[in-house]
Structure 1
Amino acid sequence: MSEQRTHDHRHPHSHGHGHGHGHGHGPEHATHPQGGAGEEFWDARYQETGRIWSGEANAMLVHEVSGLAPGRALDLGCGEGGDAVWLARLGWTVTGTDISGVALGRSAEHAADAGVADRVTLERHDLTESFPEGEFDLVSACFLHNYGDFPRDRVLRAAASAVAPGGTLLVVGHAGWAPWQEEREEAYFPTPQDVLAQLEPVTAGWEVLRAEETERVQNQPDGTPGTRTDNVVRLRRPA
């Protein structure tokens, strides 16, 4: 909902999205307003071009998840499927969600082209109204930001509630606007400690594996590399 790719590979989506995540699969991950931006908005956004994101996985997901044993994963705001396909290639069984049916169609094509369609299930959800059922060994929420009236804290608590015993919750977000972006007052960029506080009603007693800011290189609109700061929070639920 993507960086090294320069990534952020998705946008905040799923009404809450995230990569399509976070993805920038283009030069950068889009962080578009969530408030009032529903399925029609995101479908139109995707239809503007053949592909918005790079198709690669978010760098922070790769860094934080590579050492985990594959299991069931939930990708919130899967966009065009960069994270979901990467996880499936590692042996994970992935459920990807997005608010955009167009994005989900592209995710399905990406999974089929990669030969992992049998390990990727795609569901359309506006995360303010519905949420995937079941428990997951990994729940990933990358670049799921607050814009307008999007209740990110409530959605992240739902994400934590979906983590199976012994499982991992990964929350990645921007620490602020990139130096080359125009700042908008309606945006809210929580610190790692803010995220932990928002999750506390659900994650009390969980192990905090990482909660800090991290810098990465991302291409600017003119194609030259620039540096931006992200936040990463990774928690493990007790078995």
Structure 2
Amino acid sequence: MEHTFDNEYWDQIWQGDRAAAMGSGQPNPHLAHEVGDLVPGTALDAGCGAGAEAIWLAGRGWQVTGADIAAAALDRAAERAADAGVAQRVQWVQADLSTWEPDAPYDLVTTSYAHPAMPQLEFYDRAATWVAPGGTLLIVGHLHPEATADDHRHGSDQGHGHGRHGRHVDGPPASASATAASITARLGPAEWEVVTAEESHRTMSGPEGRESTIHDVVVRATRRS
């Protein structure tokens, strides 16, 4: 099913029956793996949801901006940051990421499964412009269905995708997905050094102990100074 991913859509999601589970999620494991060794600076979590990644970064010394279109998500994120003792290191901004522009670039821009109301790859283009020279871009997104279908043909055990704001029952729509190649093709080598470009499959436990396979695309790149 296709979605517009506009303000109304996300407000409904965060006021629905999935809100409690989404509001208690843990940081994406790719974040620690990819940026755990970076020197803390300023960071933007674009499409932060209930703030798990932003709070993780703040707890490790980053000064973080968490931006999301859903007010209910940001309210939950602020509560979690206060509980974690890092409220002073995070600024929460309600923003439509298809039009919003930050006041200054960041040392780290990370986005995990964010779907603004615009083409997915064009959103990643926007996120790349928010990275300061010498800074890092980390994209964790839904792997495109064509890529997972190809894995099926080669015998892999696959399941459904898991969204930044909750799991899509039939996997994410193609419009909200990407492949590593489609992202890195937009990061010109004169401006970017691609550090990681992979398509990852991991198992996650859901409600009532049900397990599902999560299909991710992970791209990390450093902006040349």
TM-score range, shorter chain: 0.7 to 0.9
Q: What CA distance in whole angstroms lies between the structure 2 residues aligned with 1:130 and 1:102?
A: 19
* Shift, 1:135, TM fit: 1.0
Partner residue in 2 for 1:165? 133
Partner residue in 2 for 1:213? 199
Partner residue in 2 for 1:43? 11
Which SS does the other structure have where 1:40 is aligned?
helix
CA deviations over 1:87-126 (Å, ceiling 9, x no partner): 0000100000000111111111111111111100011111
Query: Retained in 1: the 8 A contact 2:144–2:174?
Result: no
Q: Is residue 72 from structure 1 mapped to residue 45 from structure 2 by the alignment?
A: no
From the CA coordinates, give the structure whose radius of gyration is larger.
Answer: 2
Of 121, 132, 142, which residue of structure 2 is paired with 1:153?
Answer: 121
Query: Retained in 2: the 8 A contact 1:145–1:173?
Result: no
* Shift, 1:40, TM fit: 2.8
Q: What CA distance in whole angstroms lies between the structure 1 residues aligned with 2:27 and 2:124?
A: 20
TM-score for both structures, normalised by structure 1: 0.76
Aligned AA (2:106): F
Q: What CA distance in whole angstroms lies between the structure 2 residues aligned with 1:41 and 1:91?
A: 33
Partner residue in 2 for 1:8? none
Q: What CA distance in whole angstroms lies between the structure 1 residues aligned with 2:69 and 2:181?
A: 28
Q: How does 1:1-239 map to 2 (within 5 A)?
A: 34-35=3-4, 37-49=5-17, 51-53=20-22, 54-145=24-115, 150-176=118-144, 179-180=159-160, 181-182=169-170, 187=175, 189-200=177-188, 204-219=190-205, 223-239=209-225
Partner residue in 2 for 1:21? none
Which SS does the other structure have where 1:51 is aligned?
helix
RMSD, aligned α-carbons: 2.3
Aligned AA (2:195): L
CA deviations over 1:157-177 (Å, ceiling 9, x no partner): 221111111110001112145
Relative to its length, the structure with more helix (as a share) is 2
Query: Retained in 2: the 8 A contact 1:153–1:199?
Result: no
Question: More deviation in 39-48 or 97-106?
Answer: 39-48
Query: Retained in 2: the 8 A contact 1:73–1:138?
Result: yes
Aligned positions, number: 203
Q: What CA distance in whole angstroms lies between the structure 2 residues aligned with 1:221 and 1:113?
A: 24
Question: More deviation in 152-161 or 222-231?
Answer: 222-231
Query: Retained in 1: the 8 A contact 2:142–2:172?
Result: no
Q: Which blocks of at least 5 consecutive residues in structure 1 are unaligned?
A: 1-31
* Shift, 1:64, TM fit: 0.6
* Shift, 1:38, TM fit: 2.3
TM-score for both structures, normalised by structure 2: 0.80
Which SS does the other structure have where 2:75 is aligned?
helix
